[in-house]
Structure 1
């Protein structure tokens, strides 16, 4: 009877000492996988953080399976890695954009030099002007250099100018080109043009037609606009002012514009 009692007592207390080395084995396997993960991307900061996590885990006397330090560190490292990649991508994009902006500036400066040289060589300094700002390179052409009074037919001698400009544009493809027509505030009403809107629009389109005779230029990048008398650069109270307001502007639009330095439409001068 006493033997039976001792046997039952022995069965109730099965030796569980095997759990200790088993848990240690799992701990070592977990540590191995985490170390392999950390080593997959060489990062001194990651390695230092991981070492600290292991020191805390092994020196605290707490089973690693019951301690979240290592797992939390792993998540933090993963988040840090993603943030680093994102920062690196943004830095590369910024660097590429700055390089493209620099190249664009060089292109437009060189184009302006060519235009200015053509103007000087052909004695057209009183009829043409170029201006480069943070938004565009603008060529301003006096209307009397291109058209007869009240007409939208480009003068034969002005066609050579338009062809020369289009040839220069062909060396710098990919830019949006806007041709805009402007008049003074003297009303017009003829069989051809009912208003200054009609006249300015037709002049812009006719000049653009000659530019696009250069087949190397992409028509999808061109547009023509008529502003009539509504965007003067001088007062219409004087003959000289009205003459300056009658013009065609050809604008080469920048692809990369700094919003802080972009030029807005000038205010209308007092009449």
Structure 2
């Protein structure tokens, strides 16, 4: 008798590939509900922070759950987009803004008078100068009064000047302060510095460090920069001009500057900075002047 072979039935496996788009859809819905919830909240600051985080995450390929990376980039975005981060002036009335501008003007004029009085009483008119414009108060200090030629170490007798400036700034500690270093166009010629960039930067740092020894000042409000030879205030054709270009500037930045006036001042400063520098010095002249930096 022939054996009947029973046909074996294999159970078919269900196709589960649909789970992938389904999971993506659920993730997008979750993100949507979170955003909608944030929009319904009265805390607009949280909504702005979350909006920035989502924007960075989706535009840069960073996962939303990678919190540290997202928050770090969001903070960078905020700081670059809001240069006046210490003051929220968006909702101010024109009268309030004008009142703050007037107080700021009085503060900077008073500080300028203090510095000018110190300059006069100590016979430093040839070494220090002050200038108040629509964007900042600038205290200009000749490098010869602070540093030995070709050095970034502040002279011991010049530390008093940095300390006096720091004491004057304590009453205006909420202003941002930028310390900048400048040189002439003669190439530096020693073993410590390879370029005028390095010399100008280090001089600004060394002077700022002495100012910040005053614990009443907030280091978060301070920054430094080295311009090298590229922001001259006089011609480098003469020894007197080169001497004026070698300087350290302490700039107290306005918080409520008039935007239109600031632009005009900035444009004028840029035009001055683009003044053609002196022609190339002769080899002997460069060697002679390198020691005067």
Distance of 1:181 and 1:121 partners within structure 2: 26
Does residue 145 (structure 1) correspond to residue 127 (structure 2)? The answer is: no
Number of aligned residues: 182
Distance of 2:192 and 2:108 partners within structure 1: 37
Distance of 1:216 and 1:93 partners within structure 2: 32
Q: Secondary structure at the match of 1:147?
A: coil
Question: Following TM superposition, by how much is the alpha carbon of 1:189 offset from its aligned partner in structure 2, in angstroms?
Answer: 3.7
Question: Following TM superposition, by how much is the alpha carbon of 1:190 offset from its aligned partner in structure 2, in angstroms?
Answer: 2.4
Taking the TM superposition and a 5 Å limit, the aligned residue runs for 1:222-233 are 222-233=222-233
Q: Secondary structure at the match of 1:227?
A: strand
Distance of 2:243 and 2:116 partners within structure 1: 21
Query: Cα gap change, 1:139/1:92 in structure 2, threshold over 3 Å: closer, same or farther?
Result: closer
Structure 2's unaligned 5+ residue stretches are: 1-89, 279-293
Normalised TM-score (structure 2): 0.60
Superposed CA offset, 1:132-163 (max 9, x none): 00000000000000000000000111100000
Residue equivalent to 2:10: none
Residue equivalent to 2:104: 104
Single out whichever of 97-106 and 184-193 deviates more from structure 2.
184-193
Structure number with bigger Rg? 1
Superposed CA offset, 1:32-74 (max 9, x none): xxxxxxxxxxxxxxxxxxxxxxxxxxxxxxxxxxxxxxxxxxx
Superposed CA offset, 1:178-203 (max 9, x none): 00000000001422111000000000
Query: Cα gap change, 1:91/1:188 in structure 2, threshold over 3 Å: closer, same or farther?
Result: closer
Query: Cα gap change, 1:92/1:139 in structure 2, threshold over 3 Å: closer, same or farther?
Result: closer
Residue equivalent to 1:62: none
Taking the TM superposition and a 5 Å limit, the aligned residue runs for 1:153-192 are 153-192=153-192
CA RMSD of aligned residues (A): 1.3
Structure 1's unaligned 5+ residue stretches are: 1-89
Normalised TM-score (structure 1): 0.65
Distance of 1:219 and 1:182 partners within structure 2: 22
Q: Secondary structure at the match of 1:261?
A: helix
Distance of 1:150 and 1:139 partners within structure 2: 22
